[in-house]
Amino acid sequence: MGYLSLFSGIEAATVTWHPLGWTPAGFAEIEPFPSAVLEHHYPDVPNLGSVTDITEAMILKLGPIDLVVFGSPCQDLSEAGKRKGFDGERSGLFFAAIQIIRWARKYYK
């Protein structure tokens, strides 16, 4: 099973799924520390960077993707936050993730 992880962090999904034989096709992380952790543990897996910079061609280059996993930032949805909803800068990244899923489905149904 191949998957793409968006908003990867230090990649808990891969730690969990590795014993099942699932393999990451790629990550998407922009923060320096988590990116360094990913590079250290998974040097052969590309980090595509920001979900807003990922292109359809980048998704095609990854090969078959059976699953896209993500937990997009939710600060703008939080009662404790500014309550901008999906119009907020962070929570609005959800829509970029959905576009990436559409591209993955388009090529690998």
Positions marked active-site: 74
The whole-angstrom separation of Cα 11 and Cα 5 is 8
Distances (CA, A) of 28 to 16, 19, 57, 83, 97: 18, 22, 15, 25, 10
Distances (CA, A) of 89 to 47, 51, 78: 22, 13, 13
Specify which residues 69 forms β-bridges with. 5
Answer positive or negative: Cα dihedral of 42, 107, 53, 90: negative
